[in-house]
Structure 1
């Protein structure tokens, strides 16, 4: 009898250890979106945008990108040598203030991540992208 109880305890310990290991792995792979950050998972299974809730990310199969949903303030100034030239060939000093925000829906978040890439979360990188267009 004691040998069978010992075997049951060994099997129960192995099962408990396996459950703890699986639980730790699952908590490491689960990522949650917050109110001001959306998540985009690409890779195996296609693109998935998460606004509220969470998603499982397996590092070998998926790539995770975060997109900030807060308003970013950018100031662009064109002064002196970089001043804008009007149609009648006059230079105009211009200082512009832009407030940029990603609309909180799946299509807008995916478009922002696709066009801006990893620079979507850095105001300086967004400013350098916009400087060429202005």
Structure 2
């Protein structure tokens, strides 16, 4: 389990389950409160994993730059979750999840713009197909 492809496929599988479980979970409560409860579960599980692996670090050993970017990432994650749960509350999981996956397209664009990454012609075609596919899957039947 040391290659990125295995972890990426597991991430996709868990993300799919997240949509299904969250759709059922937000039926009877406010989506923001649902996000809060989900976050508590994540914190407890991650704390247990870090403790069991002995991976906690001294907070002073982490650079300021790391704090800034992880903080920004945390804010973006929180905003994403709040929006995602609100969308699930209002729409069908089978439509919300594909639109959410337009993040793949945005990551490719942001990678080029902000990180100087390069996309080959096949990569660009793939990004366009992902965008097209996400939109087509989200169209109401």
Instruction: Determine which structure has the larger strand proportion and give its number.
Output: 1
After TM superposition, the score normalised by the length of structure 2 is: 0.20
Q: Which has the higher contact order (CA 8 A, sep 6+)?
A: 2
After TM superposition, the score normalised by the length of structure 1 is: 0.21
Instruction: Determine which structure has the larger helix proportion and give its number.
Output: 2
Answer with 1 or 2: which has the greater Rg: 1
